[in-house]
Amino acid sequence: DLERRLGEVVKEACSRYGYGGMRLSQERGGYVVNVSLRRFHGNPRDLSEELYVEAVSHFPELSNRLRFWIDRR
């Protein structure tokens, strides 16, 4: 299941930011991943790009089909 496998990658990459979970939804032939973080104070765009690169390294079939949004709690 994609959400579970992708969740493992995202959790590992975000554990230092107080990872609070993620939600995967489909949108226009691709996917949007909302990542909930409790201790992230950096630039969300930079982290989104890092997560994209990490995710595509594990799942090359998602190249150009994945967007990340960072939700700070």
Q: d(Cα 7, Cα 40) in Å, to the nearest integer?
A: 18
Give the global pTM: 0.92
Q: Helix (H, G, I), strand (E, B), or coil: what is residue 59? A: coil
In the block, tokens 């230092």 appear at: 16
Q: How far apart are CA 16 and CA 40, in angstroms?
A: 9
CA distances 60 to 39, 64, 65, Å, are 29, 9, 10
45-70 per-position pLDDT tens digit: 999 999 999 999 999 999 999 999 99
Distance (Å, whole) CA 40 – CA 36: 9
